[in-house]
């Protein structure tokens, strides 16, 4: 029987003493969200944990008006792009969803997802999508992770929620995408928490590792007693390379330091001057990119697309701790950074002073409100750089347009909201020049990108 006839036939299996007809299909591509995509009777069908090129028999799990969902009953002909996952709990853990796909194929489909999304949402031509900046380390790269904690029948579990549930899948062997030092700390904390007096009250461990410093935050529900604190202080020498331990209760109280240092930092390069290194810090619990090698690669893409001149005035929206503002400051006349998170702005100001950057100023403000006030004051900026959260910059777009920058550099972690915002900007006199996908999150469907828009 040839492949074409295999793909067209259906299988009849005996299930619960009755015949059930299972459709057979070929997985065509991957979708944002992680699922494979095929067609059943002309309707799009989304299939988790499938791989483009797979020939599969499917069990339909849901029928919607315009699409269906299914699970794989049998992989009849596996795709050449299939590979063996490194993680023993892959498929049940709710974290990675592409470990079964060869990394070269992941790269190809991430670029395709970005290009298709930008075409649908903003009519950006495929020719304007740059080559994906691949990660040099597809495993062992994450320097920030949140591990869920549970105790069931007296057994401590530390890992991630299972697919579609709040039940913790124990990552007993660590996490393959985590930086090695994070797995070392996790192993030590498994032992420490076994005898913690109130372990049932712990919901999560957050572990951040920088170029210097490894910070752990214990998310703790309910009252933290003196006995709890004393135990954690006494265990400091048993926590391996951890340099600081903090407690975060479920109430709106500040982060509490138990022991050690709050310093966590990483290195970014300042262009020129022999590529001077800037040391940037961020507060425990604050935001930082999860893949520092790709963070630096993203800065290089911003530099290339921005082609900044010494006379330029740069506005950095959602600037965080100065992650891009401070390395770029040496290339322009001035940088103004705006961010709504007060802790991040405190870190940005500290980083500005520590690194002796003189032509930068930072303000804690709602970005959408701030850009409107800047426009009301007739402020001008040659370039606006923005790195909004996953929801995009929708509320700030009108103010950005009023400021009339020559260039907009949009850093995005969500192709859908990027396409929406580019569509709005294209109707306001800006055209997409190029969009460069960056693989910040190997083994997952997530895509970072840097898009350059210029005023027409």
Q: Is 87 labeled as catalytic in the residue annotation?
A: no
Residues of the chain with pLDDT under 50: 1-19
**What's the pLDDT score for residue 21?**
63
Question: How many residues does this entry show for the chain?
Answer: 456
* One domain, residues 61 and 119: no
**What's the pLDDT score for residue 5?**
33
CATH number at residue 111: 3.40.50.150
Phi, psi of 311 (to 5 degrees): -90, -5
* One domain, residues 351 and 427: yes
Q: Residue 77 burial by CB count (10 A; 0-12/13-18/19+): exposed, middle or buried?
A: middle
The verdict on residue 69 lying in a domain is yes
* One domain, residues 156 and 62: no
C-alpha pair distances (Å), 340 with each of 256, 314, 370, 385 = 22, 18, 10, 15
CATH number at residue 171: 2.40.50.1070
**What's the pLDDT score for residue 253?**
81
Per annotation, catalytic residue among 51, 319, 372, 413 = 413
DSSP string, 61-123: EEE-SSEEEEEEEEEEE--TTB---S-TTTTTBSS-S-TTB-HHHHHHHHHHHHHHHHHHHH-
**What's the pLDDT score for residue 417?**
97
* One domain, residues 283 and 372: yes
**What's the pLDDT score for residue 395?**
94
* One domain, residues 294 and 249: no
* One domain, residues 349 and 409: yes
* One domain, residues 23 and 46: yes
* One domain, residues 389 and 315: yes
* One domain, residues 175 and 308: no
**What's the pLDDT score for residue 11?**
36
End-to-end CA distance of the chain: 57
* One domain, residues 278 and 399: yes
State the total domains in the chain: 3
* Containing structural domain, residue 32: 3-77
**What's the pLDDT score for residue 249?**
86
The verdict on residue 449 lying in a domain is yes
* One domain, residues 243 and 333: no
* One domain, residues 421 and 285: yes
The verdict on residue 82 lying in a domain is no
The verdict on residue 306 lying in a domain is yes
Render the burial of 192-208: b for 16+ CB within 10 Å, e for the rest.
bbeebeebebbebbbbb
The model carries a pTM of 0.91
């Amino acid at each position: 029987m040839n492949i074409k006839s295999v793909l067209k036939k259906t299988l009849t299996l005996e299930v619960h003493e009755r015949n059930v007809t299972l459709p057979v299909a070929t997985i065509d591509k991957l979708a944002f969200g992680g699922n494979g995509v095929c067609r059943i009777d002309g309707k799009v069908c989304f299939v988790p944990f499938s791989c483009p090129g797979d020939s599969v028999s499917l069990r339909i799990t849901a029928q919607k008006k315009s699409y269906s969902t299914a699970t794989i009953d049998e992989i009849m002909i596996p795709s050449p792009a299939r590979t063996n996952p490194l993680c023993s709990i892959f498929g049940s853990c709710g974290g990675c969803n592409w470990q079964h796909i060869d990394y070269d194929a992941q790269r190809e489909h991430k670029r395709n997802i970005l290009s298709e999304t930008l075409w649908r949402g903003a009519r950006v031509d495929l020719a304007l999508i740059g080559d994906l900046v691949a990660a040099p380390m597809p495993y062992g790269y994450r320097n920030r992770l949140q591990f869920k904690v549970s105790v069931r029948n007296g057994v401590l579990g530390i890992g991630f929620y299972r697919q579609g549930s709040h039940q913790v899948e124990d990552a007993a062997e660590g996490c393959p995408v985590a930086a090695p030092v994070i797995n070392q700390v996790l192993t030590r904390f498994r032992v420490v928490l076994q005898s913690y007096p109130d372990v049932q009250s712990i919901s999560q461990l957050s572990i951040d590792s920088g170029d210097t410093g490894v910070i752990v935050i214990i998310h703790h529900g309910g009252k933290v007693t003196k006995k709890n604190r004393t135990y954690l202080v006494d265990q400091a020498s048993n926590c391996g390379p951890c340099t600081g331990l903090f407690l975060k209760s479920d109430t709106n109280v500040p982060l509490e330091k138990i022991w050690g240092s709050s310093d966590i930092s990483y290195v970014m390069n300042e262009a020129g001057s022999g590529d001077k290194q800037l040391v940037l810090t961020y507060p425990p619990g604050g935001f930082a990119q999860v893949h520092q090698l790709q963070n630096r690669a993203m800065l290089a893409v911003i530099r290339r697309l921005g082609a900044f001149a010494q006379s330029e005035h740069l506005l950095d929206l959602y600037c965080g701790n100065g992650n891009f503002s401070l390395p770029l400051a040496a290339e322009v006349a001035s940088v103004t950074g705006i961010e709504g998170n007060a802790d991040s702005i405190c870190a940005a100001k500290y980083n500005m002073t520590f690194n002796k950057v003189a032509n930068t100023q930072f303000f804690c403000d709602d970005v959408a409100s701030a850009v409107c006030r800047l426009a009301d004051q007739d402020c001008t900026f040659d370039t606006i750089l923005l790195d909004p959260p996953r929801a995009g910059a929708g509320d700030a777009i009108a103010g950005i347009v009023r400021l009339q920058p020559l260039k907009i550099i949009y850093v995005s972690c969500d192709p859908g909201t990027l396409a929406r915002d580019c569509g709005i900007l294209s109707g306001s006199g800006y055209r997409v020049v190029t969009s460069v996908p960056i693989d910040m999150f190997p083994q997952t469907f997530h895509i970072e990108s840097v898009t350059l828009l210029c005023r027409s």
